[in-house]
Amino acid sequence: MQERTIDGVKRAILITTRSKLMANNITTTTRRNTGIYASFASFKPHVLRGLNENESWSLFKSIRGGDVEENGMERKIVMDCGGVPFWIKFTAEFMKKPSGAATTEDVLKKEFLKELKLYYNKFPALQKMCFAFCSLFPRNHLIDVERLMHLWRAEGFVMDVDVPTAEAKLRGCFN
């Protein structure tokens, strides 16, 4: 992360994305007394590596619990997650559901991860943010929408000047 000085104040910008195109096309904008200026400074993206095979498998086993098959099929599913902890956690939670649980074979046959990724990629950006933020809470945790919206505002996710409109958009994630 690079620090920039704007009007004598040090500032740091952190933008997270899985898109290399997005990471390489960042423009910073500042507002000064006379107007708005765009700075086309060069930012070197810091690319986080995914978990390796052993780390991915360890995370999967710790979340899934119980008897985890060592026959290679579950390992293949975990490797299809690409080392992304979010997908590994989602898969492990899905596979440990007690009633109506999918077997390893079912998950492979349905190409579960491909379908999930396609579905997730169709979400608008705001719903992706909501989905990702809510994944930070424990399983079966009741989340108060009002409290969640306060947390989002505190984190700076609500950028809309028109607060009622921004809140309506956020509430739309839950309807």
Determine how many CB atoms are found less than 10 A away from the CB of residue 26. 15
Q: Which of 83, 100, 121 is the last residue of a domain?
A: 121
CA 118 from chain centre, in angstroms, equals 15
Q: Per the domain annotation, does 48 fall within a domain?
A: no
Mean pLDDT of the chain: 71
The strand ranges marked E within the chain are 3-6, 9-12, 28-32, 35-39
Do 114 and 136 lie in one domain? The reply is no
Do 69 and 98 lie in one domain? The reply is yes
The pTM score is: 0.45
Total domains, the chain: 3
Do 58 and 96 lie in one domain? The reply is yes
How is residue 9 written in tokens?
């104040």
pLDDT at position 55: 92
Which of the residue ranges 40-49, 90-99, 148-157 would you say has the lowest mean pLDDT? 40-49
Q: Per the domain annotation, does 44 fall within a domain?
A: no
pLDDT at position 117: 76
Q: Per the domain annotation, does 45 fall within a domain?
A: no
pLDDT tens string 100-149 = 455 666 666 566 667 677 777 887 777 777 777 777 777 778 888 888 87
How is residue 137 written in tokens?
């809470």
Q: Per the domain annotation, does 46 fall within a domain?
A: no
Do 113 and 79 lie in one domain? The reply is yes
Q: 88: exposed, middle or buried (C-beta count within 10 Å: 0-12, 13-18, 19+)?
A: buried
pLDDT at position 52: 92
Do 62 and 94 lie in one domain? The reply is yes
DSSP assignment letter at 31 = E
Q: Per the domain annotation, does 78 fall within a domain?
A: yes
Residue 172's pLDDT band, with cuts at 50, 70 and 90, is: confident
Q: CA 110, 114, 120, 121: dihedral to nearest 10 degrees?
A: -140
Q: Per the domain annotation, does 102 fall within a domain?
A: yes
pLDDT at position 47: 66
Neighbouring C-alpha atoms within 13 Å toward the C-beta of 142? 1
Determine how many CB atoms are found less than 10 A away from the CB of residue 78. 25
Range(s) of the domain holding residue 166: 125-172
Q: 120: exposed, middle or buried (C-beta count within 10 Å: 0-12, 13-18, 19+)?
A: middle
Residue 1's pLDDT band, with cuts at 50, 70 and 90, is: very low
Do 113 and 149 lie in one domain? The reply is no
